[in-house]
Amino acid sequence: MKYEIEISSVAEAEADSAFIRLSQITSPERASQWYAGLLKAIDSLSLMPKRCPLARENEYFSNEIRQLLYGKGHNSYRILFTVIEGEDIAYIRILNIRHAAQQTLGIDEE
């Protein structure tokens, strides 16, 4: 089964923000390569998305939250997504694209 992929506006904004940050600290070419790789990683979820482990956020939400790690070292990001399956539908919703060092979603800041 091949899943459709839907990217939330929040995830799009987070990816754009990461791209801008990377282009400021590296080069626009490297940032563009990173972004193309990110899109390729997201696209890979259309086949076998459940190969990815549950995210640490999973316990805070009613839907199952999985993660795909992308990047290396200081440029590691977690692609957070949920798999939606029904009789007529099967798709992946990309919820967030967060730097690996960012705080877990769902945990109170205090």
Q: Structural domains in the chain? A: 4-99 (3.30.2310.20)
Pair of tokens at residue 25: 């600290």
The whole model's pTM is what?
Answer: 0.90
* 65: DSSP letter: -
Report the pLDDT value the prediction gives residue 107, as an integer from 0 to 100.
64
**Bridge partner list, 69:** 78
Cβ 49 vs Cβ 5: under 8 Å: no
Report the pLDDT value the prediction gives residue 73, as an integer from 0 to 100.
82
Pairwise CA distance, residues 25 & 3, whole Å: 35
Report the pLDDT value the prediction gives residue 110, as an integer from 0 to 100.
43
* 75: DSSP letter: G
Q: What is the pLDDT along the chain (110 residues), one digit of tens a residue?
A: 789 999 999 999 999 999 999 999 989 999 999 999 999 999 999 999 999 999 998 988 888 999 999 988 888 999 999 999 888 888 999 999 999 888 787 765 44
C-alpha count within 13 angstroms, C-beta hemisphere, residue 83: 19
